[in-house]
Amino acid sequence: MIHLMEGGVCAAKGFSAAGVHCGIRKNKTKRDLSMIYSEVPASAAAVYTTNLVKGAPLIVTKSNLANGRAQAVICNSGNANTCNANGIEIAEAMCGLVGDALGISPKDVIVASTGVIGQPLDLAPIQAGIPLLVKALSPEGGVTAAEGIMTTDTIRKEVAVEFTAGGKVCRLGGMAKGSGMIHPNMATMLVFLTTDAAISSEMLAKALKTDVADTFNMVSIDGDTSTNDMVSILANGMAGNAEITTDGDDFAAFMRALNTVTVGLCRMIAGDGEGATKLLECKVTGAADLGVAKTVAKSVICSSLLKAAMFGADANWGRVLCAIGYSGAEVDVNRIDVAFTSAAGTVAVCKNGAGVDFSEEIAKKVLSEKEIVIEVGLNAGNVSSTAWGCDLTYDYVKINGDYRT
């Protein structure tokens, strides 16, 4: 059984965290530097953006995690440390400062940055802020750490669960940031996961790569794939279970716990899209294979026209079929069913690729809710997939019209 709980990245044993304002951001009320620390060295793994332009922190983190071990995370907001001539030097210096402050190897540090691209990152405020962070580290510090990684996010994003592996109670939690520049194959999205389960770095990497393909790589806000996104996980083994080194019941239990946390974070990221008023979820069923299911779900959730229609609570189902039609997926358009579902009910709008009579009044009520499910039935097999996104509003343009200034 999996039970939801409080605590975020500090839910698991042996983890502490903190977030402070160090001066990277002009607004002194906003935290801009966060840290996560494990009492003991941990197995570690990460997945990175597919964008060819990668932030310096990703390059340094990938090098640091070559041995599958880490003990701390440092992340700043307000500056992406991307496309900077001295970016690698700054990212490595951040790891060095953390290593000195915690008494660990700088190679055991995951480093991340988020914010404006192409702006020099001054090391001075980070150097001054790290001692404050270390002093503030606490098992209750997940909240402030989650605040410290936010940019245009309007809410903290934290999820944690409790599960059993090897007869031991284990915990897995995470925090995320992401609101804009979000597109399948990850985005301006940073996700930090922690667990006290004992699992080898090889199996941890396998679990993360497998899960991300069906979760974070199925989220889109605006069609832009970021330079800085990363999902990382630390597993310190303090739950005391026998180390998970192969496939089996314990690995399956770990995967279920991981997926519960990541899906929860995906929904929070999608629902908090820049300027968004609604969370959109596209559920594709009846696909011939997983590739088709994923392609269709992504295409629908990425359609700007559909996103705009959802903002206006307009049941313009033709935009769903349009998105499926240009997706590149091999489907029989004459077998497609479409329905919209929310807390207000369900309205079927398309059967076998053609419109059906429905009440515009009921449809308006269904689409006026905060969470809307776009149900697509392909009727060609038994494979399904889900993607998450949000509506497209006036505020998205306002936010991104003056993002840098």
> Given this model, what pLDDT does residue 222 score?
58
CATH number for the segment(s) 3-271: 3.60.70.12
The rounded distance, in Å, linking the Cα atoms of 17 and 145 is 6
- Mean pLDDT across 56-83: 95
- Mean pLDDT across 296-315: 95
What is the token pair recorded at 313? 């609570």
Q: Could you tell me what percentage of the chain is helix, strand and coil, using 3-state DSSP and rounding each to the nearest 5?
A: 35, 30, 35
> Given this model, what pLDDT does residue 360 score?
97
Q: The domain 279-401 belongs to what CATH superfamily?
A: ArgJ beta chain, C-terminal domain (3.10.20.340)
> Given this model, what pLDDT does residue 225 score?
52
The rounded distance, in Å, linking the Cα atoms of 150 and 358 is 42
Active site residue 346: no
**Could you say which of 49, 82, 144, 188 is catalytic?**
188
Phi and psi angles of residue 18, each rounded to the nearest 5 degrees, phi first: -165, 160
For the chain, domain boundaries: 3-271, 279-401
- Per residue in 217-260, pLDDT tens? 898 865 555 556 789 999 999 999 999 999 999 999 999 999 99
The pLDDT-based confidence of 187 (bands split at 50, 70, 90) is very low
The pLDDT-based confidence of 339 (bands split at 50, 70, 90) is very high
For the chain, give the percent of residues with pLDDT over 70.
Answer: 94
- Per residue in 311-338, pLDDT tens? 999 999 999 999 999 999 999 999 999 9
Evaluate whether 289 touches 383 at the Cβ level (below 8 Å): yes
The pLDDT-based confidence of 371 (bands split at 50, 70, 90) is very high
Residue 188 has pLDDT above 80, yes or no: no
